[in-house]
Homo-oligomer: A and B are copies of this chain.
Amino acid sequence: MTDRSHLIDALRALLGERLSTGQSVREAHGRDEAYSAHALPDAVAFPETTEEVSRIVTLCAGADCPVTAFGVGTSLEGHVIPVRGGISLDLSRMNRVLAVNAADLDAVVEPGVTRKALNEHLRASGLMFTVDPGADASLGGMAATRASGTNAVRYGTMRENVLALEVVLADGTVIETGTRARKSSTGYDLTHLFVGSEGTLGIITKLTVKLHGVPERVSAATAAFPDVASAVDTVILAIQSGLPMARIELLDEVQMGGMNLYNPDLKLPEKPHLFLEFHGTEAGVAEQVETFRAIAEEHGAAGFACATRTEERTRLWEARHNAYYAGKALRPGCDGVVTDVCVPISALAESIARTKEEIAAAGLIAPLVGHVGDGNFHLLILVEPGNAEELARAQDLAHRVCKLALNLGGTVSGEHGVGTGKLKYMAEEHGAAVGVMATLKRAMDPRNILNPGKLVALN
């Protein structure tokens, strides 16, 4: 094992008590929410400024020591696990909102600000930050994993909502990747290169993100469908019609069973459902709801219910946000193996139908929820803790779902990312382009110190 005591001493001299080698702190930084092997960092650093991040990375570079950025630990493919040890760089103390520019509809934040903290900060401004992956993740982590969520169909993912970044490179250099101007055509798009790079090309120390005006009117709705295909066809037609739905979520009949168990007041039929949200003016939302209802009913929807009162909407979307726990309620005490894939929307109904055949063949319980406007769905495969045979069956099922998505022209992750969990699919999904990714990684991080072992396999 490498002796990193000199490095640890130098980091302690820089950070004092903000450098921890305590067992419990290291353990808290040795895992995420993925069902994957844990690994401990040698130490955890808690920087408070960009300059400190730069000095930490410079020291680590000098010692050939891995640096793995850590936000709040809600990643789902092992991204924050320091698989080769080294320093876990916990950015939670860099949590200031530096500026809110109302006229420009943007905000400048440090990477440890969470999405809920930003929206709380914005409460009196009439503005909102829209990317909502469910977890109260940090914005740095959301940018690094190209996070997305329920309202990406209207407002976009982190790909569309990050305007510019400040990044510390592998040699400690600090760069800015853009300005607050809404667009630019000067030079390579470094912002998008770092968004989704999972901490392997640089450490994000500042973000400029887009904001949106809070709509005058918000309505929520639910509709039950005879089958998944009818629900998907409804979504396709609604999008083609230009209906600007803010959220459109699919929950299959298995998931709905869990929802009813977990939320006793919900009492919705155990059929595939769409949960929707409409944003706009009062008249605009009313028109959207009626247009959607007509399309849905043409496709056999029943029990279309619309909620405009805040409490009703909140109850409905809280239920959707708790889908993970509702799914687990189907098998109390179980663990969950999670996967997410995304296909062209025209292939979504087939993708889901064949996924459900695979679930049946595997003899497992696996509720399905989908950001169906994007062609993206998640599977939560329930397994008995400690049952190795069942875990292997669940992992095989997740593997089959990924292969299906690839065969249908899709991707093995719509929003969770690669980490270590999806690394084995990169060559099949990207072909010769993985060579370009390796070239970029080698050029920008020649010592391979930034989150090594993630996203891109180096020879």
Q: B433–A175 contact, CB under 8 A?
A: yes
Residues of B within 8 A of A431 (CB): 175-176
In angstroms, Cα B183 to Cα A176, docked, is 25
Contacting residue for A185 out of B279, B281, B283, B413, CB 8 A: B413
Q: Which of A287, A409, A430, A442 has the most CB of B within 10 A?
A: A430
Shortest Cβ gap from A63 to chain B (Å): 23
Q: Which residue of B lies closest to A106 (CB)?
A: B344
Shortest Cβ gap from A246 to chain B (Å): 11
Contact with B along A90-111 (1 / 0, CB 8 A): 0000000000011111100000
Whether A314 is near chain B, meaning CB under 8 Å from some CB there, is no
Contacting residue for A422 out of B174, B186, B417, B418, CB 8 A: B186
Q: Which of A242, A375, A417, A431 has the most CB of B within 10 A?
A: A242
In angstroms, Cα B345 to Cα A178, docked, is 15
Shortest Cβ gap from A294 to chain B (Å): 13
Question: Given the known A-B contacts A213-B242, A443-B443, are A346 and B103 also in contact in the complex, defined by CB atoms under 8 Å?
Answer: yes
Q: Does more than half of chain A's interface fall in helix, strand or loop, or is it mixed?
A: loop
Whether A65 is near chain B, meaning CB under 8 Å from some CB there, is no
In angstroms, Cα B239 to Cα A398, docked, is 43
Contacting residue for A186 out of B159, B215, B287, B413, CB 8 A: B413
Question: Given the known A-B contacts A192-B192, A283-B283, are A430 and B182 also in contact in the complex, defined by CB atoms under 8 Å?
Answer: no
Contacting residue for A188 out of B193, B281, B345, B346, CB 8 A: B193
Whether A249 is near chain B, meaning CB under 8 Å from some CB there, is no
Q: B240–A103 contact, CB under 8 A?
A: yes
In angstroms, Cα B180 to Cα A175, docked, is 32
Residue tally, chain A, CB below 8 Å to B: 94
Shortest Cβ gap from A203 to chain B (Å): 14
Q: B432–A184 contact, CB under 8 A?
A: no
Contact with B along A279-299 (1 / 0, CB 8 A): 111011001000100000000
Residues of B within 8 A of A418 (CB): 185-187
Contacting residue for A180 out of B185, B291, B344, CB 8 A: B344
Stretch of A115-123, A145-153, A254-262 that contacts chain B: A145-153
Q: B188–A440 contact, CB under 8 A?
A: yes
Contact with B along A404-440 (1 / 0, CB 8 A): 0000011111111110001001100111111111011
Q: B179–A409 contact, CB under 8 A?
A: yes
Q: B414–A181 contact, CB under 8 A?
A: yes
In angstroms, Cα B284 to Cα A147, docked, is 32
Q: B413–A184 contact, CB under 8 A?
A: yes
Whether A269 is near chain B, meaning CB under 8 Å from some CB there, is no
Question: Given the known A-B contacts A186-B425, A187-B426, A417-B186, are A409 and B240 also in contact in the complex, defined by CB atoms under 8 Å?
Answer: no
Residues of B within 8 A of A213 (CB): 239-242
Q: 8 nearest interchain CB pairs?
A: A192-B192, A443-B443, A184-B411, A103-B346, A146-B185, A175-B433, A180-B344, A181-B342
In the complex, 15 of the A-B residue pairs with CB atoms within 8 angstroms, ordered by the A residue number, are: A102-B240, A103-B346, A105-B240, A146-B184, A181-B409, A182-B344, A185-B418, A186-B425, A187-B426, A187-B434, A188-B201, A188-B437, A189-B193, A215-B242, A283-B287
